């Protein structure tokens, strides 16, 4: 029966290996490759093969090169060590297996060290289209091909620098309530910028408008919608807009932003960091994303070492 996994399968929300790692507080784990079931590999194959035409049509050329460089097998869930063998000589990046959500300071700090926290479970084959949480298809097929590009990889490292700058700023604030208020605002700005670029960004390219955001690159329906639908608003990137723009994660994005190039994206993260230092991220508009307790705590903990 579709969707029923052999014991020990690595299906999202139904993987005993992951539950045990979480119960033991282990965030950084290994990928127990032998636990993937036949259904898991089948889900990967169906996800990957149906995307191939869409990538050719809608994806940024650097992403297409990245897919080639990584030599991903369309038929089987990838082994992270195989992916890393092709990836790390190009940009120094590595996919690092994790058991679940990585609190945001730690996530950004991993990027700074050229490590990408990677989910190892895969969605249930019966629900290929909608998944609120990331899975290995989103992380490896949606994110990691972009990490083969030097300018893009450097941009992610720059995000990591931004998180350290935020922790430094927090370290300089003595009033505890004010510290939490400002960290919360800065976090929102960083998360919104990340969302509208790394996850859902569009870019001008030779062949017209193309997708480089991983949320789009891993979604069969939304990748086409993002470029073709007349209902989507597409605007040139404006930093002051993006940091104040809330977003919702459970439906197609009605508003997307366009950057000019990967160099442009890199410069924008530098500008974001300057704005942070100037206090321009201290009072952004309220609304999504919410700042979870682990996210906030991760920044406050990091600020103690500054
Ligand atoms: Fe993502």
pTM for this predicted structure: 0.94
Model confidence at 250, in pLDDT bands (50, 70, 90)?
confident
Name the 3-class secondary structure at 27: coil
Query: How much distance in Å is there from the Cα of 167 to the middle of ligand 1?
Result: 23
Query: How much distance in Å is there from the Cα of 172 to the middle of ligand 1?
Result: 31
Rounded Cα–Cα distance for residues 182 and 284 (Å)? 10
| The pLDDT of residue 206 | 85
| The pLDDT of residue 3 | 44
| The pLDDT of residue 7 | 57
CATH number of 16-304: 1.10.800.10
Model confidence at 5, in pLDDT bands (50, 70, 90)?
very low
Query: How much distance in Å is there from the Cα of 147 to the middle of ligand 1?
Result: 13
Beta bridge partners of 95: 116
Yes or no: say if 273 and 158 are a contact pair by the CB < 8 Å rule: yes
Cα–Cα nearest to 210, from 227, 228, 191, 229 = 227
Indicate whether 163 pLDDT > 70. yes
* Cis peptide upstream of residue 289 (ω within 30 degrees of 0): yes
Query: How much distance in Å is there from the Cα of 214 to the middle of ligand 1?
Result: 6
Query: How much distance in Å is there from the Cα of 117 to the middle of ligand 1?
Result: 10
| The pLDDT of residue 1 | 40
Model confidence at 176, in pLDDT bands (50, 70, 90)?
very high
- Phi/psi of residue 61, each to 5°? -55, -30
Provide the residue ranges of all domains of the chain, joining segments of one domain with +.
Answer: 16-304
| The pLDDT of residue 8 | 63
Q: What is the mean pLDDT of residues 182-202?
A: 97
């Amino acid at each position: 029966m579709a969707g029923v996994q052999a014991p020990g399968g690595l299906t999202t929300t139904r993987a005993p290996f992951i539950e045990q790692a979480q119960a033991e507080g282990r965030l950084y784990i290994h990928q127990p490759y032998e636990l993937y079931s036949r259904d898991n590999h089948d889900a990967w194959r169906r996800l990957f093969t149906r995307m191939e035409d869409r990538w050719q049509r809608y994806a940024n050329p650097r992403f297409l090169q990245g897919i080639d460089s990584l030599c991903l097998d369309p038929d089987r869930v990838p082994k992270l060590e195989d992916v890393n063998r092709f990836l790390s000589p190009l940009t120094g990046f590595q996919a690092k297996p994790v058991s679940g959500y990585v609190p945001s300071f730690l996530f950004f700090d991993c990027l700074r060290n050229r490590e990408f926290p990677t989910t190892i479970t895969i969605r249930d084959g019966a629900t290929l289209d909608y998944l609120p949480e990331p899975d290995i298809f989103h992380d490896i097929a949606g994110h990691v091909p972009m990490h083969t590009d030097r300018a893009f990889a450097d941009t992610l490292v720059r995000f990591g620098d931004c998180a350290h700058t935020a922790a430094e700023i927090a370290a300089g604030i003595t009033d505890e309530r004010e510290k939490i208020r400002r960290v919360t605002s800065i976090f929102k700005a960083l998360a919104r910028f990340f969302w509208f670029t790394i996850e859902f960004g569009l870019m001008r390219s030779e062949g017209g408008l193309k997708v480089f955001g991983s949320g789009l690159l891993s979604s069969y329906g939304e990748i086409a919608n993002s470029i073709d639908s007349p209902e989507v608003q597409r605007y040139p990137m404006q930093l002051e807009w993006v940091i104040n723009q809330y977003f919702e994660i459970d439906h197609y994005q009605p508003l997307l932003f366009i950057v000019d190039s990967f160099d442009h994206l890199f410069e924008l993260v530098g500008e974001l960091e300057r704005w942070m230092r100037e206090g321009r991220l201290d009072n952004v508009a309220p609304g999504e994303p919410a700042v979870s307790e682990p996210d906030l705590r991760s920044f406050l903990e990091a600020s103690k070492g500054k």
